[in-house]
Every structure is written in C-alpha cells, then in structure tokens.
Amino acid sequence: MDAAVVRQALLIRRVEETLLELFSQGRLNGTVHTCIGQELSAVAFARALVEQDVVVSGHRCHGHFLALTGDLDGLLAEMLGKVTGVCGGIGSSQHLFHQGRFFSNGIQGGMVPVAAGLALARKLRGVPGIGVAFIGDGTLGQGILYETLNLVARWRIPLLIVCEDNRYAQSTPREATLAGTIEARPAAFGIETFVSDTWDWPRLDAQAARSVAHVRATGTPALHVVRTDRLAPHSKGDDTRDAAELDAARARDLLTAHARAHPEQHGQWRAAIDREIRDLLGRIAQEPVLMLEEYHRKPRVSPRLPARRPVLPSSERLVTRLNRCFAELLAEHPEVVLLGEDIVDPYGGAFKVTRGLATAHPDRVLATPISEAAITGLANGLALAGMRPIVEIMFGDFVTLAMDQLINHAAKFHRMYNGQIGCPLILRTPMGGYRGYGPTHSQTLDKFLLGIDTLRVVALNAFTDPAGLYRALLAPGQQDPAIVIENKTLYGARIGDFQEENFIVEETIEPFPLTHIRPLHSAPEVTLVAYGGIASIAAGVLGPLFEQHDLKAELLIPSLLCPLDPRAILEAVERSGSLFVVEEGSAFAAWGAELIATIQERLGRRRPFSAHRIAALPVPIPAPRDLERQVLVEARRIIRDVVAHRP
Amino acid sequence: MSTIQDILAPRLDVSSDALLVVAIHQPGGAAVGAGTPLLDLETYKAQVVVESPGEGFVEYLCQVGDQVPTGAVLARLHPQAGFTVEAERRLSAEVSPTPGVVQERMPSPVADAASPPVPETTPALAPRFSKAARQALKRHHLDPALFQDQDLVTLRDVQSRLPPPAVQTVAPTAGQRRVALRFPPLPAELQRRIDWQPLTQAKQLEIQALDQVQRGGQVSLVTTWVRMGTLRAHIARQSEWLPESLLPLVVFETARLLRRHPCLNGFLEGERIGLYRDIHIGIAVDMGQGLKVLTLPHADTLGFRELEQLLFQRIEGYLDRTLTPGELLGSTFTVTDLSGFGVGHIQPLVNAHQSAILGIAGEDPDLHRFQLSLAFDHRVTEGREAALFLQALRERLEGHGAGPETPDAATRPVCGVCLKTLPEDRAMQGHGLLQLVDSAGRESLICQVCLMGY
Ligand SMILES: Cc1ncc(C[n+]2csc(CCOP(=O)(O)OP(=O)(O)O)c2C)c(N)n1
Ligand SMILES: [Mg+2]
C-alpha cells in the first residue's frame, strides 16, 4: 500500500472515530453509520474515477464522500449541523451532496436507479463519465435493484454497482435473508461481475480499476462485490455480533496491520490527521446553524387576483393537443426525454398521447420495462443531471409503485441538498374511472400525491389548454418535481367546450390558470369547485340547477392543486357563503377536505359559510357501468346534494 | 264516539303565538285511529306531529303553508264517514290581516323605474327563466320584459320585483280625525336600488318568539370577564367530545348554578311568574342551517362527559338534520355561544317563556379572557341576582383554569423526547431516565435510547 492510500484510509477512519466520540458527547444530532473496516473500498474506487463520473451512496457514505471529494471541512460542518456543511446541515450523515458529483440518501437501494439516470444523461448527451452506486449486501433484498439491473443491462447504461458485502444488514446476518449467491444475480442479467476484498489491497486496487475501465470502455454496467468487515457497530452502540467473529475481523484489518508494522510512521500520520480534525472542529464550532427563516419562508402571495380572459372553445381534442404539445417540446428542448411503458410507435401509449413521437425522436422517447419504481428513479437521475424527463405511468393506479422515488427522492433532493441542485421530474398519469376498468384501473389516488411536501400537483381539465400547463412545468428554474393528473375521460374531450346560455367561461391569466364558469351578470348563490375530469360533470349541472332548481351556481376549476392558491375560491365563497367541492375520489383526507380547511382558516371568522363534499363512495370501484357511476359521482348526485344543502 | 271532536293547535311552550302547518298526512275524510299522525306543525325551533286523539274520520280545516294561532281548530274528527263539512271558512282566512289595518300600496319599484335607455352597442340579453320563475311570472301576471337586463331569473328575482310588503298604519278611530305625522319616505332613487327579499316563515316565527319577552321592554344585561388561565388545557384534558370548545364546561357549571337562582329559570306570564322545577338548557346554534335551540334536558343532573356527549350528539343531529322535536323543545334557559366568531361582546335576546339567556363571546387574544353576558327579564328578576349568578359562574370557570398546563408532566416522569414512561422504559430493559440540563438551562428527562440512539 502506498502512503497516500494508507493516509486516506486512516483519515476516513479517524474522522468516523471522531464522529462516534462527538456523538457520545452529545455534540452530534441524529445518527452515524461508520465504514470503519471498509475504508479501502472507498479509496480504491475513488482512485479509479475521473472528473465526469458520478457517485451515489447510502447510509454508510462518509468514506465514499471523503475519498471522492476530499471535502473534510464540509463533511464535519455538515455532521455538526452548521450552515457551512455540504448541505447546510440539513442532510447530515446520510444525505450528502457535492457539486453534482456525489449524492447520498438514506433509502436502501433507492439511489441505484438515480445513479443509472445520472449515467444515462451522460450517455444521451454524448459526454464521458460513468455512474457508480455503492450498496450493501443487505440491499440485495430490494426490488428496485433488480428493476435497475434489468434496465441498465438492456439499455446499456454505464453504471458500476459496488456491493460492499460485510455479511450483515444492521443486525441480520446475510445467510438469514439471502438466497443463492450474490454473483449469480448480475449474471442472470448478463452483467459483468467483479469480486475483490479489503484484505488484499493490490487485488482490490487492480479490480476496482478494471471494473471501472470495463464500464467506461464498453458503456455497459457491471457489478463489483467487495468482501469486507464492518468493525464498528451498525450505527452506535448497537452491535449484537459474536465477539470472536469481530476479533477475527480486526485481525485481518489492513490499517491495524499497518499500525503494527510501522508504529512510528502510523503514529505520526495519525497525529497529523487528528490535529487537522481538531483544528477544523474548533473552527466549525464557531459557525452558525441554519435559521428557520433561511430554511423555510412562507411563500408570498399577492393579494391581487390575476387578470382573466374568456375561454374560447377549440375544436381540438385534448389527446391531440397533448400529442402536438409533446412533439413541439421534444423539438424545442433537447433535454426533454419521454419515458414510459408502451409509449413508442406503432402503439403510441395506452391512451395514444405519444403516438408518432418515438418515430421522430427514437433516442428520447423510450419504452421502458414494467418497472414503475426504477423508471421514476432513472428519471430522477436524468433530472438531477439537468435533463427534463417526463415519465408516463400507464395508469394512475400504478403510481403507488413509484411512491418511494417521488417521496423520498424527487421531492427531497432540492431541499435536503440545501438548494444546490434541482430535480424537476415531471410524472404524468391517466387517472380516474367511468370506463369500467374496475378496482385497480379506475382509481383517483390524488390524495396520496397531494400530501407530498414540495411536490407540485397539476390536474388537466377540459377547459384549460394542457400545452400551457406543460410549458409552465418545463419553464427554466423549476427545482421540484411535479405530477400531472390526466383524467382518462378528458382525452376525447374538446377543450373549452361549454354551452349554457347566459353563462360565461373565463380563466385567470397565470401559468396554471383557474377556470371560472359563472352567470354572465348575476351574483352566484352557490359556489361549486371541481378539478380534473369531474369538472366537466360539474359544469353540466349548472344549467339544470338553474332551470329545475331555481339556483344560480358558479363553478371554479383550478388546474394547480398543490400548492393551493385559494384566492379566487375565497373570493367566490365570501360572496356566495356556500362551497360544494366535487371530487372523483373519496372525500376522506382528500383535496376537498384540504380546500375547505384552508377556506375556513382564511374566511371562517369573517364570513360563515356552509361547506360540503360531493365525492366517490369509499369502496373499490366496481366494473359494472351503472354501479360504477353510482359509486363515483354522477350529475344527479351533485344536483341532489347541492339542492339539499343550498343555503 | 258519537260527537264531533275538535283538534286544536297545541300550545308549544316556546312560541305559542304562531305555528306553521308544514305537512298533512291523511287524505280528507280518511278513517283514523288513536295515534294516527294527522299533520306536522313547525315553530321556529321545531316540528311537532299532531296525532289523532281517537277514532273517527278526519276533516282538515287547514292546509299546508297556513300560519295558525295556538288554540285554532286544525281538524275535526267525525263519528261517521261522509260527514257534512261544517266549517266553510278555512283557517287561513282567520289569520288574514286583522281588521283595522289598512294596506297601503307602495309604488312598485319596477313600474317606477324609468331606466335609462340601453345603449345600442350592447346587444340586448335574452334572459333565462328558471321553471319556478316562469310559474311565478304567470301567477303574478308579470311581463317577462321586465327582466330584460338580467341573465338568469329565479323565483327570488321575480319576487323582488313584486310590490314591497304592506306598510301598516293605524286606522283612525271613528270621530277622531288625526293628522298622521309621516316619516318622509325613502328617496325614489334609493327605492330603485333595493333588492327585496321575502321574510321566510322560519324568520317570522323567530321574530315572534323573541318578541314575547323583548316587547316587555325590560330586558337588562350584565357582563363579566373570565380569565382563561389554563382553562383550554384543562378542557382539552377532560374532554372526550369537544376538546376545543368552552361551551360544554360553561353549560355544565351554568346548569348547576341555576338551582341556586330559580328566578333565572322561569318566565313571566300575565300577572304571575312561573318557576320551572327542572333545568333544561337550550343551546342556540346556527351552523349554517338555520337558528335552532338544542335542548339538553335535566342538564344539572348530568356529569361533564355525559353532558358533553349529549351536546355533541345534538350538534350532529343538527348537522344531519335528524333532530326530533323532543330534542329541540322545552328548554328553560338558553346559552348562546358565539365565541367561535371572534366577537368580544354579545347582547343576547331572551326566548319566549324564559327569563334569561347567557352569551359566550370570543377570547380576547391579547388579554386571554373572554366575556360572559347575561340578558334577563327585569320583570322576573333583578340585577343583583343576575350579577351574583354571573360572578359565581366566573369563579367556577376560573377555578378550572387555575391548574398547571400539563399536570402529568409534573407528576409523572417521562422522556422529554419520546414520552416513554418509567414502566415502559423498564419493560424495554432501559436504565431509567437521565436528568438533562440543556444549553438554555432548561431541565428535562431523557431515556437512554433517545440519548444514545438505537
Ligand atoms: C428502504 C429501507 N429499509 C430499511 C432501512 C433501515 N436500514 C438502514 S441500514 C440497514 C441495513 C443495510 O444493510 P446493508 O445493505 O448490508 O448495508 P450495511 O449497513 O451493511 O453497510 C437498514 C435495514 C433503510 N434505511 N431503508
Ligand atoms: Mg451489509
């Protein structure tokens, strides 16, 4: 081992030993997972990488971070929660970031498709650079890993997965949870496999270089198993392993051996490292922590409502408009990539939104395997690399499979890396019923998406030009992900089609317009609010409510559900004193509940109003036509409820 | 049964003056038995079902929509079928304007409105009429052209164009010519700018009920401030049903206190004062579905949780519109809670057949106190009594708010981070709790897991 290697490994070890000390002194918040015993793995791969490569890691990431970036100051400050930390102290131990080259996150396996996306972006742009993803042996239990192995092998993505096999996952020995062998797994996907260990440095060093070179040269993935020992507990003081086993592991540790063989030199290096750490800690201790005002500022909303313009009916069907819009976007923006199951020609997507696009842009309209989690993760990596991925999830019901990538990855990156990078993923999905597709192909799962902080949720409707919405989402400067809910019943609708004498359709002039259908002059007596596909059903009751039930009603249709801008609705409810929210999903804990709570908070004391939700019944959606309509919301039910609860 | 039996409009204790016939259950001439529902009456607080007192054949003397005085004959039971109808005059005629009242017609705002000519540039709008509006036009022989400037015309729009309600002037008695002093009428300009709304029947009945005591002209008001202290925390701990509301606790204490102040639980009738033997608290609520008084019978005998649960059920019934008459009638004292609306002071109106009403205003956010006001009929009781009552109530409420914010924290050691208690810690083989003093000098307890991590 040359001096540089020993010194770097020793630095990592001393840093982590110091972190454990700081933790026991209560100076460190949260948790630490140390790689004590495994350092040489990090050192070996970092030596083989170049500037354009990108590394992702997980909970045990300090070594990978230090070996790649050398930013000891940034790491220590981050661990102590200081603004000068690499993520402003927000992320701490498991959530590190460095200049678009290093990313870690605390979800086992979740970063592997992200690394694949980062690598794919390099490939699509024709720039050199590979992706490296560090995982542990316990992470071999994660499904998304295999989705990614399949994807990177089939699509020839230059990704090196390094599996550091320390034979334990937290407290569980590998034998207890792992069937078959590690090596047989990549082999099944035709992925080249390398094996080495941290007890034989020359071999580890050579194999690391070989595996990196292989990925770089062939542009294909590889998996590298590094046998190693974790000498310290999983996190802190929680070791349940056998003492004899640990002794044997310590006996083969190369750093311990070096200390024994060269006590004087080792002692000098160690003392120098300790001094450096001590000095840094002394300085960092004086540094400030992030203030709440810097971390979270209440968004400022102008009290003035945006101007409005009339909505003119168009003869174009929504699906054609969408298709035209994506064709334009692909042509205008080389960063736009469309991903999804069955979206290429001749099929053109389950709802034909992407018809013809793959023929025009075969490299950026990509049909994926049935791997909702991995393709969302892949798109996250593309977005982090500055591409503008648009993922289609074939049915909204399947968005559950992408949830971890949405919640724990896409929606976190920008804020947890302290604003240093954005992840403007766009995920679009056909949602909703009235098609007889039954319980798992008809749902409105919007409520699960609305609760994700920082995730923007947009819903198309039959009155708003969808191209405008997508253009707004693709505008430069977007940092956080967005979901677009495309109700299935909308695809065939003609945009802006509404005929009801003496009513007017207007929309606000803003990136995500709100549509307002109201009597031409009269003050409305009841306010209806609906979004998405069901807004068309709600629009259909305005006439009958007036004709048959003597009621002047208005309908407001927001296109941006989250974050919620309640101003226009507030104004309407303040005037009418009654609010009916019509929703296609069930009412409990859904958007309507949130809207009513928001209006109540802003208006309740000033202007009492009545509020009602008209929503689907809380049961799986049945396939038979009439029964489905009864479970979902029908025009008849809207009329009945509005009349029963009219003020 | 051989004689004809009259069925009279009952005296409902809240509003005896006027009742509204809202439903008729049998066809005229139908055979009925004892207990057969005949018709539904509504006061502004409740609906009651009038049942047949015995067997016979029913003849109705009223119809749905009639407003009838207490004691009026609503229906008759005849011994035989095919009876001859005796009463030609229907009740509705009896409640027609009392003699001596002259109806004076105001000029119709519509007929009067010399609207400026519509500029030729704006295309005339073809108004749309709702079904009900079309029917009303026909009924009142109105010209649809009157609504030329409107987009949508509902029944209410049509009604607003009808002549305004009659103005009542007292007819001069014979031989006495008096020059009526006339208040100048509203300027015509303003007249044209009025939207008329018909008074709903519920509102009319409400006005009558409140008029009974207020007309006496001797309603007085006393108020007091209640310091919040830790009252909210206390309520949140005690409450199972309405943890954010002051109302259950106020009602709970009020009901008990009323036993000592019987004059506040009574009413004046003619020359005498009636004191109720029981305490039934009425809660005036209006949560968007009309003003109703929810009755909590024998409230002074209920435990706090019982009372709170009952109140919760009544509110649910109100919201679901499933309240029965029994749940709305027969209160002997009323509490009105406007604390949710941020008002600082309330002057409530005393209900018919009652002598007092308690109002709860909102918390003053700066001074952490709220106001209680008691309006009372000075003909039944007097200021001293009312003041004593209010003072005692204040003391009782403040007593509840005098405890620590979280008594548990003071008495029970728990980990300040995960709230684990000592027994729980023991069960998890912990080493107990450590005393911690943070950099701000605050003391707290922490368990080993929270200190060291897992
Ligand atoms: C999705 C997910 N499940 C569970 C955990 C909790 N967890 C953190 S580390 C760990 C063990 C991981 O074992 P391995 O992959 O072998 O990595 P090692 O800790 O051995 O480096 C577990 C279960 C997690 N962070 N993410
Ligand atoms: Mg492991």
User: pLDDT tens digits for B316-345?
Assistant: 888 888 888 778 888 999 999 998 888 989
**Cross-chain Cβ contact A522/B452 below 8 Å:** no
pLDDT at B173 over 70: no
Residue A94 CA, closest ligand 1 atom number: 25
CA of B418 to the centre of ligand 2 (A): 29
Which of A137-151, A297-311, A469-483, B172-186 is predicted least confidently? B172-186
**Cross-chain Cβ contact B154/A552 below 8 Å:** yes
Statement to judge: residues A507 and A478 lie in one domain? no
Last residue of a domain, one of A217, A252, A286: A286
Residue A298 lies in a domain: no
Percentage of chain A lying above the pLDDT 70 cut: 100
Which of A7-16, A51-60, B260-269 is predicted least confidently? B260-269
Q: Supply the CATH classification number for the domain B188-401.
A: 3.30.559.10
Residue A560 lies in a domain: yes
**Cross-chain Cβ contact B130/A550 below 8 Å:** yes
Instruction: Report pLDDT for B94.
Output: 38
CA of A569 to the centre of ligand 2 (A): 53
Structure token pair of residue B361: 């205003």
Residue A329 lies in a domain: yes
* Residues β-bridged to residue B48: B41
pLDDT at B117 over 60: no
Segment B336-360 shows an average pLDDT of 92
Residue A165 CA, closest ligand 1 atom number: 16
User: Nearest-CA residue of chain A relative to B158?
Assistant: A550
B contacts of A647 (beta carbons < 8 Å): 288
Ligand in closest contact with the CA of A59: 1
**Lining residues, ligand 1, CB within 6 Å:** A 59-60, 106-108, 136-139, 166, 168-170, 234
CA of A135 to the centre of ligand 2 (A): 8
Percentage of chain B lying above the pLDDT 70 cut: 80
Coil/strand/helix, residue A364: coil
Burial of residue B145 (CB within 10 Å: 0-12, 13-18, 19+) is exposed
Residue A303 lies in a domain: no
Structure token pair of residue A375: 């393709």
Higher pLDDT, A430 or B289: A430
* Amino acid letter, residue B110: V
Instruction: Report pLDDT for B237.
Output: 82
Statement to judge: residues A316 and A439 lie in one domain? yes
Average pLDDT, chain A: 96
- Our CA-based measurement puts residue B170 at a distance from the nearest CA of chain A, in whole angstroms, of 37
Higher pLDDT, A28 or A470: A470
Where helices occur in A489-611 by DSSP H, the ranges are 534-540, 542-549, 567-576, 591-603
Q: Which of B126, B152, B341 sits opposite A519 (nearest CB)?
A: B152
Residue spans of the domains in chain B: they are 5-159, 188-401
Segment A31-48 shows an average pLDDT of 97
Q: Which of A31, A548, A552 sits opposite B152 (nearest CB)?
A: A552
Statement to judge: residues A320 and A259 lie in one domain? no
Sign of CA dihedral A141, A142, A143, A144: negative
Instruction: Report pLDDT for A160.
Output: 98
User: Nearest-CA residue of chain A relative to B149?
Assistant: A521
Q: How confident is the model at residue B116 (pLDDT cuts 50, 70, 90)?
A: very low
Statement to judge: residues A634 and A507 lie in one domain? yes
B contacts of A237 (beta carbons < 8 Å): 452-453
User: Nearest-CA residue of chain A relative to B339?
Assistant: A605
Residue A495 lies in a domain: no
Higher pLDDT, B425 or A358: A358
Q: Domain total for chain A?
A: 3
Instruction: Report pLDDT for B400.
Output: 83
Considering only CA atoms, which of A611, A529, A593 is closest in space to residue B288? A611
Chain B interface test: which of A550, A602, A612 (most B C-beta within 10 Å): A550
Coil/strand/helix, residue A403: helix
- Our CA-based measurement puts residue A502 at a distance from the nearest CA of chain B, in whole angstroms, of 5
Statement to judge: residues A321 and A429 lie in one domain? yes
**E strand intervals along B143-199:** 152-153, 167-170
Instruction: Report pLDDT for A541.
Output: 98
Q: What is the DSSP annotation of B28-44? A: TT-EE-TT-EEEEEE-S
Average pLDDT, chain B: 79
Instruction: Report pLDDT for B199.
Output: 75
Statement to judge: residues A48 and A77 lie in one domain? yes
Q: What is the pLDDT of residues A44-67, one digit of tens each?
A: 999 999 999 999 999 999 999 999
User: Is the minimum CB–CB distance between A171 and chain B shorter than 8 Å?
Assistant: no
- Our CA-based measurement puts residue A613 at a distance from the nearest CA of chain B, in whole angstroms, of 14
User: Is the minimum CB–CB distance between A580 and chain B shorter than 8 Å?
Assistant: no
Segment A507-511 shows an average pLDDT of 96
Q: How confident is the model at residue B60 (pLDDT cuts 50, 70, 90)?
A: confident
Cα–Cα distance for residue pair A208/A205, rounded to 1 Å:
5
Statement to judge: residues A77 and A8 lie in one domain? yes
pLDDT at A389 over 70: yes
Q: How confident is the model at residue B408 (pLDDT cuts 50, 70, 90)?
A: low
Which of A122-126, A247-251, B442-446 is predicted least confidently? B442-446
User: Nearest-CA residue of chain B relative to A234?
Assistant: B454
Segment A212-217 shows an average pLDDT of 98
Q: How confident is the model at residue B92 (pLDDT cuts 50, 70, 90)?
A: very low
Instruction: Report pLDDT for B115.
Output: 41
Segment B423-445 shows an average pLDDT of 78
- Spell out the SS3 assignment of B47-94: EEEEECCCCEEEEECCCCCCEECCCCEEEEEECCCCCCCCCCCCHHHH
Instruction: Report pLDDT for B24.
Output: 86
Statement to judge: residues A45 and A187 lie in one domain? yes
Higher pLDDT, A499 or B401: A499
Which of A24-38, A521-535, A592-606, B320-334 is predicted least confidently? B320-334
C-alpha distances in angstroms, B20 versus A154, B47, B62, B65, B203? 80, 9, 10, 6, 12
Which of A584-598, B82-96, B130-144 is predicted least confidently? B82-96
Ligand 1, atom 4, lies closest to the CA of A108
Q: How confident is the model at residue B113 (pLDDT cuts 50, 70, 90)?
A: very low
Ligand in closest contact with the CA of A139: 1
pLDDT at B351 over 80: yes
User: Nearest-CA residue of chain B relative to A546?
Assistant: B130
Q: What is the pLDDT of residues B120-167, one digit of tens each?
A: 445 567 899 999 999 999 988 888 988 988 999 999 999 888 876 544
Statement to judge: residues A507 and A480 lie in one domain? no
Considering only CA atoms, which of B43, B9, B40, B35 is closest in space to residue B330? B43
Which of A31-35, A247-251, B35-39 is predicted least confidently? B35-39
Instruction: Give the DSSP letter of residue A275.
Output: H
CA of B277 to the centre of ligand 1 (A): 72
Q: How confident is the model at residue B406 (pLDDT cuts 50, 70, 90)?
A: low
Which of A21-30, A530-539, B116-125, B365-374 is predicted least confidently? B116-125
pLDDT at A143 over 60: yes
Q: What is the pLDDT of residues A305-363, one digit of tens each?
A: 899 999 999 999 999 999 999 999 999 999 999 999 999 999 999 999 999 999 999 99
**Cross-chain Cβ contact A502/B289 below 8 Å:** no
Segment A283-307 shows an average pLDDT of 87
- Our CA-based measurement puts residue B362 at a distance from the nearest CA of chain A, in whole angstroms, of 11
Cα–Cα distance for residue pair B267/B277, rounded to 1 Å:
12
Cα–Cα distance for residue pair B14/B206, rounded to 1 Å:
10
Instruction: Report pLDDT for B185.
Output: 74
CA of A107 to the centre of ligand 1 (A): 8
Instruction: Report pLDDT for B85.
Output: 56
pLDDT at B96 over 50: no
Instruction: Report pLDDT for B151.
Output: 94
* Buried/exposed code over A496-531 (b: 16+ C-beta within 10 A; e: otherwise): bbbebebbbbbbbebebbbbbbbbeebebbbbbbbb
Sheet holding B5-8: strands in order across? B5-8, B73-78, B56-60, B31-32
Instruction: Report pLDDT for B187.
Output: 78
Residue A229 lies in a domain: yes
Q: Which of B128, B452, B454 sits opposite A546 (nearest CB)?
A: B128
pLDDT at A605 over 60: yes
pLDDT at A377 over 60: yes
Cα–Cα distance for residue pair B377/B216, rounded to 1 Å:
8
Q: What is the pLDDT of residues B227-257, one digit of tens each?
A: 988 888 888 888 888 888 999 999 999 999 9
Segment B356-370 shows an average pLDDT of 92
Residue A302 lies in a domain: no
pLDDT at A607 over 80: yes
Domain limits at A221?
A: 3-286
CA of A472 to the centre of ligand 2 (A): 44
User: Nearest-CA residue of chain B relative to A523?
Assistant: B152
Topology annotation, domain B5-159 = OB fold (Dihydrolipoamide Acetyltransferase, E2P) (2.40.50)
- The residues in A 599-618 lying below 8 A from B, measured between CB atoms, are 604-605, 608-610
Structure token pair of residue A425: 């993923």
pLDDT at A294 over 80: yes
In this structure, are residues A96 and A78 in contact, taking their beta carbons and an 8 Å threshold? yes
User: Is the minimum CB–CB distance between A237 and chain B shorter than 8 Å?
Assistant: yes
Higher pLDDT, A415 or B427: A415
Cα–Cα distance for residue pair B389/B384, rounded to 1 Å:
9
Domain CATH number, residue A313: 3.40.50.970
A contacts of B152 (beta carbons < 8 Å): 502, 519-520, 522, 546, 552
Statement to judge: residues A515 and A479 lie in one domain? no
Which is it for strands A159-165 and A131-136: parallel, antiparallel or unpaired? Answer: parallel
Instruction: Give the DSSP letter of residue A476.
Output: T
Instruction: Report pLDDT for B52.
Output: 86
Higher pLDDT, A645 or B84: A645
Residue A295 lies in a domain: no
**Cross-chain Cβ contact A546/B126 below 8 Å:** no
Ligand 1, atom 17, lies closest to the CA of A136
Mutation probe of ligand 1 site: the residue of A16, A59, A165, A171 with most atoms within 8 A of C-beta: A59
C-alpha distances in angstroms, B175 versus A363, B171, B178? 106, 12, 9
